[in-house]
A and B are shown apart, each in its own frame.
Chain A
Amino acid sequence: MVSAVMSAAEPDVVRRRNWLTNANAWLLLLPAIVLMAAFTHYPILSTLYHSFFSMSRGGESEFVGLENYTYMLEDDVFRQVLRNNIVFALATVPTSIALALLMAVWVDKKISGRSFLRLAFFTPTVLPMIAVANIWLFFYTPEYGLLDQFLKSLGFSGHNWLGDPSTVMSCLAVMVVWKEAGFFMIFYLAALQTIPPELKEAAEVEGASRWYFFRRVTLPLLMPTTLFISINALINSFKLVDQLVIMTKGGPNNASSLLLYYIYEVAFTFQDTAFAATLTVTLIAILAGVALTKFVYLDRRIHYQ
């Protein structure tokens, strides 16, 4: 306010003050800018740059244009991995959201022991994925694992869950949903608590059933949260590969491999940094696509409301 008054009267001082403000602001931002440039912006550009070169074992690199990209598109493993990511996202995202909503509704109601419920659902969130993977690895172990023992006690035969390409993805998806649903429940909880209770009372007075109310009022009001969670869950499904490192290593035959894990394998096990750069560019492009969808679609919806 003070500066506004001043700007009307004294342009010279304002210019100096603006210069000072600018300098101050930039100084405050300096650490953040330096770190982000070094570990986010530069790497993105550098990855793009390196994807146009090839790197031989001895360390010599040469410009190859789009060759790495053609190699990637012809790579059966890449196609498998991309397919896996999509399947995985489709399996985990809607399921986590549905469960999260269910959990939130239950915790929000006056059910006895709701803090116990909340505890039970949220606990997996504070566990490291690698610990979760260890526990579930034992569940899925053929013969001795908990799941097989349980099935055998019921008279069914066991199965090599993680060693069978047709079951491995579902098994991993179940585990990931177990870990993530509670986290998303929190967002729904917060959103549910912002729904004014008058709406609910009004609906009851009008004789609307709970389900009707839920479908016509609650769900639409939760839409922004649902979208927000979907974006988050989608990003997570691309980011979360810890479990692959100790459970399946992407196998059998790449049936459970995901893009980020493939990047890790190519870059650090096979030391092919050029191809890894190409794959990373693809991953960045996908994430950027999701971001754009969010900013365009989501923001438009918010403005509408």
Chain B
Amino acid sequence: MRQQSHSVETVAAWALALLWLLPLAYSLWSAFHPSEYATRFDLTAPLTLENFVRAWNQAPFARYYLNTLMLVSLVLAGQLVVSTLAAYAFARFRFFGREVLFALVLVQLMIMPDVLIVENYRVISALNLLDTIPAIALPYIASAFGIFLLRQTFKSVPNELVDAARVEGASSFGVLWRVFVPLGKTTYIAFGLVSVSYHWNNFLWPLIVTNSVESRPLTVGLAVFGAPETGVDWSVITAATVMTMAPLLLAFLLFQRQFVQSFMRAGIR
């Protein structure tokens, strides 16, 4: 009885998994085959890179890639610095206004910059930063999520290590750098992967705040590219879509365990 239900479950699980992969598999099929085969699943159909070539020529994808790389790096770098400093303060200092400030930080966990697009646009415009990559990054650099995660990690650092460092004459900053940061390595990696995934895939805010090719990231470039009013060539659009997803997807396939563990760690609060 047990064996039967077990194998039924295995079949069911596999069926669901294959069903789940179907959309992605389809997009890969469509991208690598000529447009006539977009809906004909002839297994002997010729593979081609032509869709990618056409997509690459129709829009400045190289520049989009560069912009996205710069964006996620800028965001991550900023987030790491700001969150580390803030988490350190929250975790290891007793100071005036600590509870109030922490509550204010938590506000951002609920009301994220994504919903404040109208006002943030006004602020960026007042700072004269419209249509730049920093403009996309700025609202996200102070990350409540990062501060939260790091604070927990820092809080769990044993006091003996701190005292040992202090005895050696380290300043507060030295302690931070030599004790806390190395111990938080796994949290940093987890946060890093979550952050890069999120900002690589972010769309609405970059759409609003960028106008020109020089600052537009991949997601916005893809949306502009697939504008349906000019009529659609699905194979080319799928190729462009694959180009947008590819880096993260490849990174994920290569570093599956790290990705999964990162997201897991990020979720356990």
Interface residues of chain A, those whose CB is within 8 Å of chain B, are 1-2, 21-22, 24-26, 28-29, 31-36, 38-44, 46-47, 50, 102-103, 106, 109, 111-113, 115-132, 134-136, 138-139, 144, 146, 149, 178, 182-183, 186-187, 189-190, 228, 235, 238-239, 241-242, 245-246, 260, 263-264, 267-268, 273, 276-277, 280, 283-284, 287-288, 290-291
Q: Which of chain B's residues has its CB closest to A190's CB?
A: B264
Question: Which of B14, B93, B118, B268 is the one whose CB lies under 8 Å from A273?
Answer: B118
Interface residues of chain B, those whose CB is within 8 Å of chain A, are 9-10, 13-14, 16-18, 20-21, 23-24, 26-27, 30, 38-39, 81-83, 85-86, 88-90, 93-96, 98, 101, 104-105, 107-123, 138-139, 141-142, 144, 147, 159, 163, 172, 197, 200-204, 207-208, 218-219, 222-223, 226, 228, 234, 237-238, 241, 244-245, 248-249, 252-253, 256, 259-260, 263-264, 267-269
Q: Is the CB of A127 within 8 A of B245?
A: yes
Q: Is the CB of A39 within 8 A of B24?
A: no
| Bound-complex Cα distance A178 to B197 (A) | 17
Residues of A with C-beta under 8 A to B264: 186-187, 189-190
Residues of B with C-beta under 8 A to A149: 39
| Bound-complex Cα distance A238 to B253 (A) | 30
| Bound-complex Cα distance A129 to B18 (A) | 20
Question: Which of A1, A135, A187, A267 is the one whose CB lies under 8 Å from B163?
Answer: A1
Q: Is the CB of A131 within 8 A of B245?
A: yes
Q: Is the CB of B21 within 8 A of A120?
A: yes
Q: Is the CB of B118 within 8 A of A280?
A: yes
Q: Which of chain B's residues has its CB closest to A266's CB?
A: B118
Q: Which of chain A's residues has its CB closest to B248's CB?
A: A126
Residues of A with C-beta under 8 A to B219: 128, 130-131, 242
Q: Is the CB of A35 within 8 A of B138?
A: yes
| Bound-complex Cα distance A112 to B9 (A) | 11
Residues of A with C-beta under 8 A to B81: 31
| Bound-complex Cα distance A297 to B212 (A) | 46
| Bound-complex Cα distance A41 to B108 (A) | 8
In the assembled complex, how far is the CB of residue A4 from the closest CB belonging to chain B, in whole angstroms?
11
A-B pairs, top 7 by smallest CB distance, nearest first, are: A43-B119, A35-B142, A128-B201, A120-B17, A291-B110, A39-B139, A25-B95
Residues of B with C-beta under 8 A to A102: 16
Q: Is the CB of A106 within 8 A of B138?
A: no
A contact face: mostly helix, strand, loop, or mixed: helix
Residues of A with C-beta under 8 A to B16: 102-103, 106, 121
Q: A36-B144, A111-B10, A242-B219 are in contact. List 19 more A-B contacts (CB 8 A).
A: A2-B163, A24-B93, A31-B142, A32-B83, A33-B101, A33-B142, A113-B14, A116-B17, A122-B260, A123-B21, A127-B248, A130-B219, A131-B244, A135-B26, A178-B20, A182-B20, A245-B204, A260-B115, A276-B118
Residues of B with C-beta under 8 A to A106: 9, 13, 16
Q: Is the CB of A280 within 8 A of B263?
A: no
In the assembled complex, how far is the CB of residue B54 from the closest CB belonging to chain A, in whole angstroms?
16
Q: Is the CB of B83 within 8 A of A135?
A: no
